[in-house]
Amino acid sequence: MKSQYNYKNAQLSSKINIPTPDCSGTPIFISDETIQYRMEKVLQEMRRLELDALMIYADVEHGGNFEYLVGFIPRFEEALLVLHSDGSAFLVLGNENYNKAKYSRIPAKAIHCPHFSLPNQPMEPAKTFSSILMETGIQKGMDVGLTGWKHFTSKVENNRDFFDIPSFIVDEVKEMVGNGGSLTNRTDLFIAGNHGVRRVGIGACHHPKNLVSRNVSHVLVRQNPGGDRHHPHRHHPQRRNPVAKYIRKSIKTILQR
């Protein structure tokens, strides 16, 4: 008869070997050639889909598709990357990110949009949201793709008509393209499992994750075993605040990517 597992009989070993790091710790930097390759792949997909323009939305929690080309996310503000099929690009940025356009990995014209700023921020210059979006070159009759972060895959509904970004953006773009144009969800262009352009290039993502896990391991190893768990470094001044040390090291390395 097969015996059943009983967790009460489990025993913990007093010694656990430290895992061996599975990479060298050397960062994999994203080259300009890689960014250019990404741009060409996106433009190829736009032309295949016969899109005149692609609008890529970003905020602090949903910035991966935006960052894929631009190289940064807008933190606590919102942002749009408007990419035309001819390769011209516009960055629509809030108050705190407007001066960050110079760090974009692709050439793009910056357009200031205070509507994308945090609440109670200054709204100067006094422009309507529609007039700001018009500066991106969106016109009536255009076929525009909108990219958020969710690839809808319903089998009973038209997934192209679902949008996961703020309605004030969706409504305005629909008004701009008019009945002669179209607005469709094209998030799958980036992340669909069978054809999304972001399916490759995970090496650059692996390094910061590996760096953090290794440094957390270092922190745990350097703790004072058997000491006061509320004050683990009380009797070891030389070991004070190792967490901050390794976190600072991780952040510094990641920001240098």
Residues 1-56 have pLDDT tens digits of 667 878 778 776 666 676 676 666 677 788 999 999 999 999 999 999 999 999 99
Picking from 94, 70, 97, 73, the residue whose alpha carbon sits closest to that of residue 82 is 70
Give the long-range contacts of residues 25-28, CB within 8 A, separation 24 or more. Answer: 25/207, 25/210, 25/211, 25/214, 26/207, 27/207, 27/208, 27/253, 27/256, 27/257, 28/203, 28/204, 28/206, 28/207
pLDDT digit string, tens, across residues 179-199: 999 999 999 999 998 889 987
* Domain 32-199, CATH number (from 3.40.350.10, 3.40.50.1980, 1.20.1300.10, 3.40.50.10170): 3.40.350.10
Percent of the chain surpassing pLDDT 70: 75
Give the C-alpha separation, 26 to 253, whole Å.
Answer: 10
Q: What pLDDT sits at residue 256?
A: 57
Quote the pLDDT of residue 212. Answer: 76
Report DSSP state, residue 240. Answer: S
Tell me the two tokens of residue 209. Answer: 């994750």
Amino acid at 120: N
Tens-place pLDDT, residues 52-81? 999 999 999 999 999 999 999 998 999 999
The percent of the chain in helix, strand and coil, each rounded to the nearest 5, is 40, 10, 50
Strand 79-84, strand 53-58: pairing? antiparallel
Would you say residue 237 has pLDDT above 70? Answer: no
Per-residue pLDDT at 203 exceeds 60:
no
